[in-house]
């Protein structure tokens, strides 16, 4: 779905294919006009969760969760205790090479569109990497720790080469000379009828001449196996739900671009998809609300625990959570399943 005068481009697993005679049916609720993505920006001054510096987060008194983003929803589904550590306790976490590389590549792909279409080439994109790395170190000084034990700069050099390869691979999947994004790094927020606020940052929004919208997200990892594709699309359906709730229309296409493996995963949502996601999020928020009021945040051990920064505070690893910083307004027993209170995360 490229914004070009030649019509709409279809994007499949093999890359971009021009399709001027695009005839697939539009989503039941119509399409999103360009103005929608512009109006989606929240009017009040709100700092997105993903960009709150640790120094600021740790200085702020603990408050009950008031909104939900795709990443925080994913945290709770993965492990409620991890959600508590990140959202309520705001425990510091060390930057990882993989996540920082992803941030760097995202910044390069965003900035490339500042250049005229004809100049959006792979060499131009790679030339942006050093400057964006310098900017990242200025805005997030903690990333310097990643290479503190690399005095000769060998690991850093290899890491930057890996970032270059990811950027180069993007040009085999999409043609930026034929794209004119309506929005890049768009912060959106919508409030549901229940009062739950949903928020997030969309990597890219494309609007075709016909008015159809495509929501695009870059991933620097590898595409999941088919049986895990639904989980990967959760974030995209979350964004589509926000757009739908803002304007009562459904985005035409959701697209995940996996730079690590060179795959493109696409999905055309319908209204029923978004309604299911909304019901899931409401149930998830009710569970978060109950855990907040009882102080009951149970750990959920998985293979991902090996990469968790909070093992020292997790009972599964012999640790003890910090004292619960919020008032408990409901008895813990209200949240306990049959079998007792094993793993209780109440006030310390």
* pLDDT digits 0-9 by tens, 150-176: 989 999 999 999 999 999 999 999 999
Say whether pLDDT at 22 is over 70: no
Look up the pTM and report it: 0.77
End-to-end CA distance of the chain: 53
pLDDT of residue 55: 39
Give per-residue pLDDT as tens, 191-235.
998 899 999 999 999 998 888 999 999 999 999 998 888 888 999
pLDDT of residue 332: 67
- The sign of the CA dihedral 109, 115, 116, 118 is negative
Q: Provide the token pair at 10.
A: 């279809």
Which residues have C-beta within 8 Å of that of residue 233, sequence separation ≥ 6?
254, 256, 265, 267
Interatomic CA distance for residues 264 and 216, integer angstroms: 10
Give per-residue pLDDT as tens, 24-72.
222 322 333 333 333 333 323 333 444 444 434 444 578 899 999 999 9
The number of beta carbons lying within 10 Å of the beta carbon of residue 209 is 13
| Range of lowest pLDDT (31-40, 80-89, 108-117) | 31-40
pLDDT of residue 59: 43
Kindly list the distances between the CA atom of residue 209 and the CA atoms of 3, 8, 182, 186, 234, in Å, as whole numbers in the listed order: 6, 8, 11, 20, 27
pLDDT of residue 62: 85
pLDDT-derived band at 347, boundaries 50, 70, 90: very low
Q: Provide the token pair at 102.
A: 């992803």
pLDDT of residue 1: 52
pLDDT of residue 330: 82
Give per-residue pLDDT as tens, 268-327.
999 999 999 999 999 999 999 999 999 999 999 999 999 999 999 999 999 999 999 999
pLDDT of residue 198: 98
pLDDT of residue 210: 87
pLDDT-derived band at 248, boundaries 50, 70, 90: confident
pLDDT of residue 343: 38
pLDDT of residue 211: 85
pLDDT-derived band at 181, boundaries 50, 70, 90: very high
| Range of lowest pLDDT (21-30, 106-115, 125-134, 185-194) | 21-30
Average pLDDT value over all residues in the chain: 82
**Taking residues 225-252, what's their average pLDDT?**
91
């Amino acid at each position: 779905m490229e914004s070009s005068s030649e019509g709409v481009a279809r994007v499949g697993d093999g890359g971009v294919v021009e399709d001027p005679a695009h005839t697939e049916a539009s989503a039941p609720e119509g399409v999103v006009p360009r103005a929608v993505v512009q109006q989606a920006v929240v009017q009040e001054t709100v700092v997105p969760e993903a960009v709150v510096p640790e120094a600021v987060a740790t200085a702020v008194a603990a408050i009950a969760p008031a909104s939900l983003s795709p990443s925080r929803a994913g945290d709770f589904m993965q492990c409620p205790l991890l959600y508590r550590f990140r959202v309520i306790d705001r425990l510091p976490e060390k930057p990882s090479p993989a996540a920082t590389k992803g941030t760097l590549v995202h910044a390069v792909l965003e900035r490339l569109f500042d250049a005229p279409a004809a100049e959006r080439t792979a060499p131009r994109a790679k030339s942006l990497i050093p400057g964006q790395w310098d900017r990242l170190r200025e805005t997030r000084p903690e990333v310097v720790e990643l290479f503190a034990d690399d005095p000769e700069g060998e690991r850093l050099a290899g890491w930057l080469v890996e970032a270059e390869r990811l950027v180069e691979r993007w040009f085999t999947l999409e043609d930026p000379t034929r794209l004119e994004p309506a929005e890049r790094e768009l912060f959106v927020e919508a409030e549901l009828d229940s009062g739950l606020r949903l928020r997030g940052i969309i990597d890219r929004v494309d609007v075709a001449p016909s008015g159809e919208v495509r929501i695009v997200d870059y991933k620097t990892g590898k595409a999941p196996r088919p049986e895990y594709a639904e989980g990967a699309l959760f974030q995209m359906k979350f964004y589509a739900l926000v757009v739908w709730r803002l304007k009562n229309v459904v985005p035409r296409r959701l697209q995940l671009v996996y730079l690590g493996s060179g795959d493109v995963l696409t999905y055309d949502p319908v209204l029923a998809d978004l309604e299911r996601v909304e019901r899931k999020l409401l149930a998830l928020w009710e569970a978060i609300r109950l855990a907040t009021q009882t102080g009951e945040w149970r750990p959920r051990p998985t293979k991902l625990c090996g990469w968790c920064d909070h093992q020292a505070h997790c009972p599964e690893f012999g640790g003890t959570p910090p004292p619960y910083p919020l008032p408990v307004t409901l008895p813990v027993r209200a949240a306990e399943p049959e079998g007792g209170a094993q793993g209780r995360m109440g006030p310390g």
